[in-house]
Chains A and B, each alone.
Chain A
Amino acid sequence: MDKKHIVIATDNVFFKNHFRDFFDQDNYEVSYFDLNVEANLTDGILVDSKSTANIQNAIKQAFLQRGTVDAFVNYSNFIHLDYFSNNYEALMEYWDYKVLGCLRLIREIAENMKSNNNGSIVNIINLQSRFPKLDDAIALSADMAILNLTKGVAADLIDYGVKCNSISLGDFEFNKFNENEKELIPAKRLGQPIELMNVIKFILSDENQYLVGENINLDGGYSRQL
Chain B
Amino acid sequence: MHINFSDQVAVITGGSKGIGLATAKQFVQSGAKVVICSRSQNNLDNAVNEIELSQNVLAIQCDIGISSDVDNLFEKTLATFGKIDILINNAAPTSWGPLINEVDEAAWLEAVNAKFIGYIRCTKLAVEDMLLRKSGRIINIVGMGGRGPNKRYLTGGPINAAVLSLTKSLANNYGPDGILITALSPGPIDTGHHENILNWMAEESGISFSEAMENFINGIPLRRYGNPDEVASAIAFLASDKASYITGSEILVDGGRFRRL
Task: Closest A residue to B113 by CB, please name it.
Answer: A92
Report how far A149 CA is from B108 CA in the complex, Å. 13
A160 to chain B, nearest CB (A): 11
A141 within 8 A of B: yes
Residue in A88, A134, A153, A213 whose CB lies within 8 Å of B100 = A153
Main secondary structure on B side of the interface with A: helix
Q: Chain B 172-190 against A: per-residue CB contact (8 Å), 1 yes, 0 no?
A: 1100000000000000000
Instruction: Report A-chain residues with C-beta under 8 Å of the C-beta of B109.
Output: 92, 95-96, 100
A91 within 8 A of B: yes
Residue of A nearest to B248 (CB): A132
A110 to B151, CA, bound (A): 14
Q: From known contacts A96-B109, A156-B99, infer whether A134 and B161 are also in contact, taking CB-CB under 8 Å.
A: no
User: In the bound complex, what is the Cα–Cα distance between A12 and B161 (angstroms)?
Assistant: 25
Minimum distance in angstroms from A54 CB to a CB of chain B: 13
**Residue in chain B with minimal CB distance to A104:** B105
Would you list the 5 A-B pairs with minimal beta carbon distance, nearest first? Answer: A145-B158, A151-B149, A148-B161, A141-B162, A156-B151
Beyond A137-B166, A152-B151, whether A106 also contacts B113 by CB under 8 A is no
Q: Which of A's residues lie within 8 Å of B, judged by CB?
A: 52, 83-84, 86, 88, 91-92, 95-96, 99-100, 103-104, 106-107, 110, 129, 132-134, 136-137, 140-157, 213, 226
Residues of A within 8 A of B170 (CB): 134, 137
A152 to B146 alpha-carbon distance, docked (Å): 10
Contacts of B99 in A (CB 8 A): 156
Minimal beta-carbon separation of A147 from chain B (angstroms):
7
Q: Does B51 belong to the interface (CB within 8 Å)?
A: no
Does the CB pair B172–A152 fall under 8 Å? no
Of A141, A147, A155, A226, the residue contacting B151 (CB under 8 A) is A155
Is A52 touching B160 in the complex (CB atoms < 8 A)?
no
Q: A88-B121, A153-B154 are in contact. Are A132 and B100 (CB under 8 A)?
A: no
In the assembled complex, how far is the CB of residue A95 from the closest CB belonging to chain B, in whole angstroms?
5
Cα A184 to Cα B33 in complex, Å, equals 47
Known A83-B120, A132-B172; contact A153-B165, beta-carbon cutoff 8 A:
no
With known contacts A100-B108, A145-B158, A140–B261 Cβ distance under 8 A: no
- Is there an interface contact between A107 and B169, defined as CB atoms closer than 8 Å? no
CB-contact partner of B112 in A92, A129, A144, under 8 A: A92
Bound-state Cα–Cα, A88 to B163, Å: 16
Bound complex: CA A133 to CA B166 (Å): 8
CA distance A129 to B157 in the complex (A): 16
Chain B residues, CB < 8 A from A144:
158, 161-162, 164-165
**Does B103 count as interface, using CB distance less than 8 angstroms?**
yes
Q: Tell me whether B39 is interfacial, beta carbon within 8 Å.
A: no
Interface, chain B (partner A; CB < 8 A): 67, 99-101, 103, 105, 108-109, 112-113, 116-117, 120-121, 124, 145-146, 149-151, 153-154, 157-166, 168-170, 172-173, 261
- A213 and B151 CA atoms in complex are apart in Å by 11
Complex Cα gap A107–B102 (Å): 10
Nearest A residue to B99, CB-CB: A156
Residue in contact with B159 in the complex, picked from A52, A143, A145, CB distance below 8 Å: A145
Distance (Å) between the CB of A199 and the closest chain B CB?
21
Q: A100-B108, A107-B100, A107-B101 are in contact. Are A140 and B169 (CB under 8 A)?
A: yes
Flag if B150 contacts A155 (CB, 8 Å): yes
Q: Which of A100, A148, A154 has the most CB of B within 10 A?
A: A148
Distance of A104 Cα from B147 Cα, bound (Å): 22
Question: Which of B154, B158, B166, B170 is packed against the most chain A CB atoms within 10 Å?
Answer: B158
Whether B100 and A148, one on each chain, are in contact in the complex, defined by CB atoms closer than 8 angstroms, is: no
Find chain B residues with CB under 8 A from A103 CB.
Answer: 100, 103, 108, 154
> Given the complex, which residues of B lie within 8 Å of A226, measured CB to CB?
261
Kindly list chain A residues whose C-beta atoms are within 8 Å of the C-beta of B165.
129, 132, 137, 140-141, 143-144
Q: A142-B162, A152-B154, A153-B154 are in contact. List 14 more A-B contacts (CB 8 A).
A: A84-B124, A88-B121, A91-B117, A91-B120, A96-B109, A100-B109, A103-B154, A145-B159, A145-B161, A147-B161, A148-B157, A149-B157, A152-B157, A157-B100
